[in-house]
Structure 1
Amino acid sequence: MPPTPTPADPAATVAPGRATPTTATSAGRLPSAWDRYLPWRRSVEIGFWVANYAIGAVANSIVVLMDMSRAELGFAQWKPVVWESSSSLVALALVPAVVWFTRRVPLHLDTWRRSLPRHLLASLVWSMLHVGGMVALRKLVYALQGEHYDFSPWLWEFGYEYLKDIRSYASVVLLIEGYRLLLRRMQGEASLLQAPDDAPPLEPVDRPERFLVRKLGKEFLIAASDVEWLQASANYVNLHVREREYPLRTTMAAIEVQLDPTRFVRVHRSYIVNLDCIAQIEPLETGDARVVMRDGSAVPCSRRYRAALRPD
């Protein structure tokens, strides 16, 4: 569900409602919340999902065992553990797929009507994979115990499982989108710098020299020349600056014409790079190339745009 000033540590701050920037220096800058969180991000993300499904499997197993005891059902106690742990294990394995899909089809307030049908279809695919995986695991464990696991009639049982799975899928999507919203708030969202109501624009509107970033109730100015590369992401274009990314609500076509063409070059339908920030270009056998940025990031370059990287 991207670290001196940085995009999150911009070169200048702006008091809300004012157009005059106050220069900020990196000397003595205290680490931001994002700086402190970044080294732990991957561990927190993985740990959250592992703990979430592990706790769920244990809790659900206990509940089923208690229900079986009350109803005096003659099931071996290991069976509910297998049922719940197999379901949680497969659901955990599917989390990366949901993360990938929500990047391609984000579920935002302004796009949910267009995205919802695709997510409904995705929930069906998710459920089919979930049910197929957990049934396979149960059959394997049952076979090792010398028993047979029966999941029939398939159509009826799948319908029952899908009614539960669609709620589980929705919960995963909402958690992922909520987490991304929190990350965007920590890093900041970018916008084109607008002219104040009572003064002329700071620069031509059609080619801004700075972006305004709002982060945790504060506003910062980022110089356009500090943007190292840009990446399209659904309804946003992410501005990458010193290992941070700031989502700007626009399209690649719209932002491309607003950037300085002597500095910024389109290298892929989803990527634009700052020529001053390129470390090296690695040609590939396919005719495409890999652009390695100074921060170590690798940006794809399609053959269609390779000519733009050749010096005149």
Structure 2
Amino acid sequence: MGSAYDFTHGNLLLHLIYEGRKDGLAYLLFLAFFWAYERVTEPRPQAQGDGRIEVKTDGRTLYLAADEIIYAEAAGNYVELHLATKPLLIRGTLSEFEKRLTGFVRIHRSRLLNPVHMKSYVATSSGDLRITLSDGREIVASRRYRDALLNK
């Protein structure tokens, strides 16, 4: 009573460890609080209920309506989205885009088609289909995926 409590008994190293632990815990508590605050207050990406998909290309984010995409084609580790204006090269897999692009039909191992843009098709002697698109381009559909396209 009335005397100072010195649990370190004059040992400077124990005193530094004790004070450092207290300060370190307080610092971690502040970090955890600010991390949680950022997570709660950061804006959430809005779900696109109007059929648009988000694509990132050339350092920018675009929101494309599914009708804008005529067809998608695999290009190595990328997917080339063919639009009416110009093609867009996006990093990803074709199977990933097949899940995202509802209503599209796989017509080839490396190609997805938006059936809205299919103007006509002609069967070739090998069983493949030559499809004419709404913009006049022609693409080939593999006979392996022929039934999926014709039953759509």
* TM-score between the two structures when normalised by the length of structure 1: 0.32
| Identical positions, percent | 30
Offset at 1:283?
Answer: 0.7
Corresponding residue to 2:112 among 253, 260, 272: 272
Tell me if the contact between 1:213 and 1:222 (Cα under 8 Å) persists in the aligned partners: no
Tell me if the contact between 1:239 and 1:248 (Cα under 8 Å) persists in the aligned partners: yes
Tell me if the contact between 2:56 and 2:90 (Cα under 8 Å) persists in the aligned partners: no
Tell me if the contact between 1:211 and 1:224 (Cα under 8 Å) persists in the aligned partners: no
1:210 maps to amino acid: I
Offset at 1:221?
Answer: 2.8
For 1:69-80, what aligned pairs fall within 5 Å after superposition?
A: none
Tell me if the contact between 1:230 and 1:271 (Cα under 8 Å) persists in the aligned partners: yes
Structure 1 vs Structure 2 CA RMSD: 2.3
Offset at 1:231?
Answer: 0.7
Offset at 1:230?
Answer: 0.5
Of Structure 1 and Structure 2, the greater helix share is in 1
Tell me if the contact between 1:211 and 1:223 (Cα under 8 Å) persists in the aligned partners: no
Separation of aligned partners in 1, 2:56 and 2:93: 17
1:299 maps to amino acid: I
Give secondary structure in 1 for the equivalent of 2:82: strand
2:112 maps to amino acid: I
Question: Residues 258 and 212 (structure 1 numbering): CA distance in 2 closer, same or farther, change over 3 Å?
Answer: closer
Separation of aligned partners in 1, 2:67 and 2:138: 19
1:251 maps to amino acid: T
Of Structure 1 and Structure 2, the greater strand share is in 2
For 1:113-152, what aligned pairs fall within 5 Å after superposition?
A: none
Give the gaps of 5 or more residues in structure 2: 1-40
Separation of aligned partners in 1, 2:60 and 2:111: 28
Separation of aligned partners in 1, 2:128 and 2:55: 34
Separation of aligned partners in 1, 2:85 and 2:127: 28
Give the gaps of 5 or more residues in structure 1: 1-196
1:167-210 Cα offsets, whole Å, 9 max, x none, are: xxxxxxxxxxxxxxxxxxxxxxxxxxxxxx82333227xxx722
Is 1:246 paired with 2:68? Answer: no
Q: Compare CA radii of gyration and give the structure with the larger one.
A: 2
Offset at 1:214?
Answer: 4.5
For 1:2-41, what aligned pairs fall within 5 Å after superposition?
A: none
Partner of 2:47: 203
1:258 maps to amino acid: R
Question: Residues 224 and 236 (structure 1 numbering): CA distance in 2 closer, same or farther, change over 3 Å?
Answer: same
Equivalenced residue count is 110
Give secondary structure in 2 for the equivalent of 1:281: strand
